[in-house]
Structure 1
Amino acid sequence: MRINLMAACIGMLFLMTPLASGAADYVIGEGDGLDISVWGVKELTFSVKVRPDGKITVPGLGDVAASGATPKELQVSLGTRLRELVKNPIVTVTVRDITNSKVYIYGGGIKSGVYDLQRRTTLLQLLCTLGEVKTADLRRAYLLRNGKRVKEDFYKLFIKGESENDILLESGDSLFIPLLLDKNVYILGAVLTPKAVEYREGMRVMEAILEAGGFTKFADQDDIVIRRKVGQKEQSLEVKAKKLFKQGDLSQNLVLEAGDYVLVKESLF
């Protein structure tokens, strides 16, 4: 699982191609560096930085608003205004330096910080750059955009590799990735050594029971309950171990989640 995940991350990072200068979906912001050229007019080929007021200075035109426009929109705007100076101007706008496009990461599950979007980047690609996420509760993580949650639960995307659920990040997005508060699974009841064991990815109920010493002679192996908190609700899952042992019913060997309580009840007879 870890090898496949690492390979997937490496592959996703190679796919992080630089942001096309004329990409219609990139919005120019304050501090961005632009290369502007008018074909055949040397005096109108120059580099400029977008000022804090969102404007740039263009020879012959003066101040022109750039912030909030895409490169294509700025090209059209400059082309229209430059007709006063140049016959049929062919304008090209290239985003050279991106300083305005940022994603904010917080929540305590990983190190908080600000990520500069210097190219088209998806959520999965960004998660692959964050390093260790062992302490992160990916199931409770979400992506906040313009005050609304547009993506919840990163577990299936990042751990299970369901890349069809990936999403392209936008400037100003915030990733809330909380700390995994409960890292244990608790095995109680008719087991030899009731205890808490550290949760591991892919841990199953019988594996946890064996770590607690296995069943006592009083255990009812067909009366095992997994108690799990899902949001504000509690879920109970039944396990019948005899079906697993005698009939080979692997569906009884359920996968556990961090914070689960496994209760092995005693037989009445």
Structure 2
Amino acid sequence: MRSRCARIALLCSALGVLVAHSGCRARAPRYDFEAERRATRAYAVGPGDVLEVRAWKNEALSQRVTVRPDGFITVPLIGDVMAGGRTVTAIAEEIANQAAKFYHEKPVVSVEVAELHSYRVFVMGEVSRPGEFTPRAQITVLQALALAGGFTRFADPDAVVIVRRDAHGERRIPFVFEEVVEKGNLRADLPLQTNDTVVVP
């Protein structure tokens, strides 16, 4: 009888551990990652970035320009054009509209980011090398964590948060490491925008 009671107690103990373990598993965050991607799909140009302006059959407008600290670029004939905080598509459209005043036909203008200098992200908290990072291309959350040397042994990988402030306001975006890496939910591995902060508790 005593042996049977011992077996029952052991079984209950094992079930208790299993339930506790399953209860601690990270839950998939309820967040509209696709909406976040749509809202921040295009890179916003910043001071220090070098832009390649190309106007079809128009050498006067075609040149490489640097975004000044005040956010403006200077284009021949047109003058100053606001570039900071705008997409290359919006900048190209404004250059074309301004240039149309001086030509019989509106010129076809394209703008590309030739050199990325304003892009920076921050990784704080329980990572090996917290701080500011200035990669030469846009990176995702996982890539930022890799640049920071990965998690420390005290980190909670399933409670990571991206703090983002932009034209759409300030928000805290959840990042559950298990969901992304173990379950393959790559839609949560968002491209980071400039000045985003990845916080690892």
Alignment of 1:1-269 (within 5 A): 25-86=42-103, 87-135=105-153, 136-146=155-165, 147-158=170-181, 161-178=184-201
Bigger mean CA offset, 84-93 vs 148-157: 148-157
Q: Which residue of 2 aligns with 1:249?
A: none
Shift of 1:31: 0.9
Task: Specify the SS of the correspondent of 1:64.
Answer: strand
Label 1:69 to 1:122 Cα distance change in 2 as closer, same or farther (>3 A). Answer: same
Unaligned runs of 5+ in 1: 1-22, 179-269
Tell me if the contact between 1:103 and 1:115 (Cα under 8 Å) persists in the aligned partners: yes
Aligned sequence identity (%): 29
4+ aligned runs moved over 6 Å, structure 1: none
Higher helix share: 2
Unaligned runs of 5+ in 2: 1-39
Say which one has the larger Rg. 1
Q: What is the TM-score with the length of structure 2 in the denominator?
A: 0.68
Q: What is the TM-score with the length of structure 1 in the denominator?
A: 0.52
Q: Which has the higher contact order (CA 8 A, sep 6+)?
A: 2
Counterpart CA distance in 2 for 1:110 and 1:99 is 25
Counterpart CA distance in 1 for 2:184 and 2:41 is 29
Cα distance per residue 1:218-256 (max 9 Å; x no partner): xxxxxxxxxxxxxxxxxxxxxxxxxxxxxxxxxxxxxxx
Counterpart CA distance in 2 for 1:24 and 1:159 is 26
Tell me if the contact between 1:142 and 1:154 (Cα under 8 Å) persists in the aligned partners: no
CA RMSD of aligned residues (A): 2.3
Alignment size in residue pairs: 156
Label 1:51 to 1:127 Cα distance change in 2 as closer, same or farther (>3 A). Answer: same
Label 1:77 to 1:121 Cα distance change in 2 as closer, same or farther (>3 A). Answer: same
Counterpart CA distance in 1 for 2:128 and 2:183 is 19
Label 1:164 to 1:27 Cα distance change in 2 as closer, same or farther (>3 A). Answer: closer
Cα distance per residue 1:133-181 (max 9 Å; x no partner): 2433213321111242111433432455443432232222110113xxx
Q: Which amino acid aligns with 1:157?
A: V
Higher strand share: 1
Label 1:128 to 1:108 Cα distance change in 2 as closer, same or farther (>3 A). Answer: closer
Counterpart CA distance in 2 for 1:124 and 1:53 is 32
